[in-house]
Structure 1
Amino acid sequence: MDRPSPENVEIRRESGQIAYRAALAEMETRNAAIAAGEAREMVWLLEHPPVYTAGTSADGAELLDPRFEVVEAGRGGRYTYHGPGQRVGYVMLDLKSRGRDVRCFVHSLEGWVIATLGDLGLEAFRADGRIGIWTRTREGREAKIGAIGVRVRRWVTMHGFSVNLAPDLSHFGGIVPCGIEDFGVTSLADLGFEVAPRALDKALLARLGDFLAALEGKDCALP
């Protein structure tokens, strides 16, 4: 059986910053168009100005210092931060043709990011009971290097993942990231990796076929 091709998925890569509210509105429009069969599926790679976003499970007590705009995102999860130096991937796929399995989608999304970071030389992993993409700091402590948050409407996915390339890590101090207090946040730069957005994009897209194959084959763990 041939591996599913990513050729029918539109790829958008932004070099400038896109305001979060504008991106959210565009995602919602694209979601409806994909569901209606009027637009192609899409992977959108971009960066936002500093913003805190609240998921559907956000607890106001975890908004510690709202120094930036706070936007209700409509995705699952709690508070997260987006800002310069962080690459965000919004993934809009039609699960009606890809198994209608949300759990598999999330697992495969995590696997895509973990495999990509491995290609860049960084070992990352899932952590039982903790949302996100994890790695170890120079001191050996576990810390989050990427976030996962999704929404599925009309069986079309929205939102996706973020990877910390070189953000100002102090900006995460305004929230309890994803409701997890006992572990810190790190970045590729903090760990000694200099990875430009274009380099991450290239590595992600090199693995896009694997991600789609995992979804369509119900093989929820990427090699």
Structure 2
Amino acid sequence: MRLTSVSGSALWQGLAAPDGVDVVCEAGLVPYAQALAAMEARNTAIGEARARDLVWLLEHPPVYTAGTSASLDDLRNPQFDIVPAGRGGKHTYHGPGQRIGYVMIDLKQRARDVRGFVHALEGWVIDTLGDFGVESWRSEAGVGIWTRDIDGAEAKIGAIGVRIRRWVTMHGFSVNLNPDLSHFGGIVPCGIAEKGVTSLTRLGLAVSAEQWDRALVARMGDFLARLAQPCPTPRAGE
């Protein structure tokens, strides 16, 4: 079983991925409900040894998604549909210009370490942002990827939200390349009211989806290697 393009759009060509992992890079927008159904089906197939691990890179039409810890208090003035996601975390926004990475990995074949998986995801995104000259980090403010905004304040540039079913992972991360940041104003993103969100475009960097995908996939070997290591003890600022 191999997942093909849901959107019907062309996929980026020539991305070399580590053996045992499929990579699908969507060039078009994939409706969230369709993506969720396809992801759940692939998760089941991986768990039953009928499919390989998958990293699926895509974008959604504008939507708010609600994690298992979502609160109605975090809704301000939602402009788009709110869809239950089944992942951990609170409300978040997805839309054009935000690159999503859905990561479906069988942890039974690696380390059965939930915190280690999240730590590895964060490190993968942090390293890739560094390849574009953006310093980013983990923060005590909450799970996700943080950087300095144009005003010097700490702001979120990437979000993490995962679900693990029978030791096969689902969902993953999002990174703001050039989304409409005003759309985040309909919610309290990830339940953190005192922190803002930013994007590569806001930081003065023009990075296309294809450029991001190629840089991310080039770092995939490092990500997979982290999954075989014990999760480091958290330090202040991480």
**Normalised by the size of structure 1, how large is the TM-score?**
0.95
Q: CA deviation at 1:138?
A: 1.8
For structure 1, which segment, 212-221 or 169-178, has the greater mean C-alpha deviation from structure 2 after superposition?
A: 212-221
1:141-171 Cα deviation digits (max 9, x unpaired): 0000000000000100000000000000000
Q: Report the Cα distance in structure 1 between the residues aligned to 2:104 and 2:181, rounded to whole angstroms.
A: 28
Partner of 1:203: 215
Partner of 1:49: 61
Contact 2:126 2:137 in 1 (8 A): yes
Give structure 2 stretches of 5+ with no counterpart: 1-16, 234-238
Identity %: 64
Q: Report the Cα distance in structure 2 between the residues aligned to 1:36 and 1:75, rounded to whole angstroms.
A: 21
Paired letter, 2:154: E
* Matches for 1:142-153 after TM superposition, within 5 Å: 142-153=154-165
Q: Report the Cα distance in structure 1 between the residues aligned to 2:29 and 2:221, rounded to whole angstroms.
A: 27
Q: Report the Cα distance in structure 2 between the residues aligned to 1:168 and 1:72, rounded to whole angstroms.
A: 22
Partner of 1:23: 35
Q: Report the Cα distance in structure 2 between the residues aligned to 1:137 and 1:53, rounded to whole angstroms.
A: 24
Contact 1:135 1:145 in 2 (8 A): yes
Partner of 2:138: 126
Q: Report the Cα distance in structure 2 between the residues aligned to 1:114 and 1:125, rounded to whole angstroms.
A: 6
Partner of 2:80: 68
Structure having the larger proportion of residues in helix: 1
Number of residue pairs matched? 217
Q: Report the Cα distance in structure 2 between the residues aligned to 1:172 and 1:137, rounded to whole angstroms.
A: 15
Give structure 1 stretches of 5+ with no counterpart: none
Partner of 1:139: 151
Q: CA deviation at 1:218?
A: 2.9
Paired letter, 2:193: E
Aligned-residue Cα RMSD (Å) equals: 1.2
**Which of 160, 164, 176 is residue 164 of structure 1 equivalent to?**
176
Q: Report the Cα distance in structure 1 between the residues aligned to 2:39 and 2:128, rounded to whole angstroms.
A: 24
**Which of 22, 25, 30 is residue 13 of structure 1 equivalent to?**
25
Mapped pair 1:213 → 2:225 = yes
Q: Report the Cα distance in structure 2 between the residues aligned to 1:211 and 1:73, rounded to whole angstroms.
A: 24
**Which of 172, 177, 190 is residue 202 of structure 2 equivalent to?**
190
Contact 2:99 2:174 in 1 (8 A): yes
